Amino acid sequence: MIQKNKIIITNKNAKKVIKFETEQKKFFYQDFFYIKKGVFLPRFESEQLLDITISYIKTLFPKKINILEVGCGSGVIAINLALTNPLWKVDGVDISLKALNLSKKNLNLHPLLKVNFKKSDLFQNITKKYHVIIANLPYVENTFPIKPQILKWDPVCALFAGVDGLKLLDKLLQQINKYIYKKYLIALEIGYKQKEGMIKLIKKHLPKSHFIFKKDYAQKIRFVFIYFL
């Protein structure tokens, strides 16, 4: 639900977005957060990625873990992870200063919460290892016809990722080994036609890992969870 000037965008049961203002508050997962034009709008799939990831974390890991969100955007995933368990040490990185400013504004809604947001192109400014890495990176093919109303809100750099949409996901997995512990979970949102391409990337960059694909609310392949225990 988004509230501003009596404009309402409903939650998971919604069929369409009615209208966007420049800046609003949107209910995401368990609280209201600011969203802003020019920063990727978290969607229902983002909530599902977060929800499944939390379930896996609770099952697979002890209480104290390090978590990194790559491409944190508005920061709502990282903040909700920190809200779920104060023992989870959560960092968020993004290449966009506009996104990072919004992330910090959302963090200020929770004064007692600790999440470290900083600028980084993927792992460029990362110096430590993580048990869990979560990312909703751009994965749309360059030629895919995006609806005009989406382009009015989301920045192009948060959507498109090369001819097959896998450019940034390939780069992420290529670099990731230096930043994960021996026991790890990598949670990614992907395009519904990218399953085979992701399998090739996983086998190339993380050949010893296991992985499972999950569907979104529309019953399309939308997430992949890569892990080694």
Q: Is the pLDDT of residue 73 over 50?
A: yes
Q: What is the pLDDT of residue 7?
A: 31
The 3-state DSSP class for residue 130 equals strand
Strand partners of residue 224 = 188, 213
Give the pLDDT confidence score for residue 225 in this predicted structure: 98
The predicted structure's pLDDT at residue 12: 42
What tokens appear for 213 in the block?
């694909």
Write down the pLDDT at residue 9.
35
pLDDT (average), residues 68-91:
95
Query: Domain residue spans in the chain?
Result: 41-228
pLDDT tens-digit map of 132-176:
999 998 866 666 667 666 666 566 566 555 678 898 999 999 999
How many Cα atoms are found within 13 Å in the side-chain-facing hemisphere of 164?
Answer: 12
Q: Which of 46, 47, 217, 211 is nearest to 137 (CA)?
A: 46
What's the whole-number average pLDDT of the chain? 85
Least confident of 87-101, 128-142, 189-203: 128-142
Provide the pLDDT for residue 208: 95
Domain at 41-228, CATH from 3.90.45.10, 3.40.50.11540, 3.40.640.10, 3.40.50.150:
3.40.50.150
Query: By percentage, how much of the chain surpasses pLDDT 70?
Result: 79
Pairwise pLDDT comparison (229 vs 224), residue with the higher score: 224
- Strands (E) across 47-149 are located at 65-70, 88-94, 115-119, 130-135
Amino acid residing at 188? L
